[in-house]
Amino acid sequence: MLHLTAKDIMTQKVLTVTPQTSVKDLAKFLLTHKISGAPVVDAAGNVVGMVTESDLIFRDASVHLPTVVTIFDAVFYLESPKKYEQELLKIVGQSVADIMSKTVLSIAPETSMQDMATIMHDKGCHLLPVLENGALKGIVGKADLVRAIAKEEA
């Protein structure tokens, strides 16, 4: 059995978008390239976020209003007002910067397949950028893992 790592199975030619990319252009980009998401990079090429089809779909979801309680003219949120604000921004967002996930789960080139699968499963993510010394070297998606598993089992 081979012990493959991220560098063995990653897609090296990474398609990226910028924070300024419009939501409409993002949708066209994902469809044209038949991909489910992309890293968001700044002018220097640094990964500043991730954006996926789920972020686009979220825009059309109905808003969940936070539950509040009023006591003596004071308003108390029973849920995080910050989360509500972030959800509202995603729904009305016009650019990738508005809808992207700013917390990026990334992996190193030496990350094992088992660790990649665990991260994807536990964190519910479908794409993992591969960073080396802060530089984007590739990306691993669930399809890459499935292909590698199929090859290992053959």
**Ranges of H-type helices in 2-112:** 6-9, 23-33, 53-59, 81-92, 96-99
pLDDT (tens place) for every residue of the chain, 154 residues total: 458 999 999 999 999 999 999 988 999 999 999 999 999 999 999 999 999 988 887 555 444 444 545 566 664 555 555 655 555 555 556 889 988 999 999 999 999 999 999 999 999 988 999 999 989 999 999 999 999 988 876 5
Tell whether 12 is covered by a domain.
Answer: yes
pLDDT at position 61: 44
Q: What is the 3 state secondary structure string of 82-131?
A: HHHHHHHHHHHCCEHHHHCECCCCCECCCCEHHHHHHHHHHHCCCEEEEE
Tell whether 48 is covered by a domain.
Answer: yes
Tell whether 110 is covered by a domain.
Answer: yes
Q: At what angle do helices 113-123 and 142-153 cross, to 10 degrees?
A: 140
Domain that holds residue 60: 6-153
For the chain, the domain total comes to 1
> Where residue 19 sits, what CATH number does that domain have?
3.10.580.10
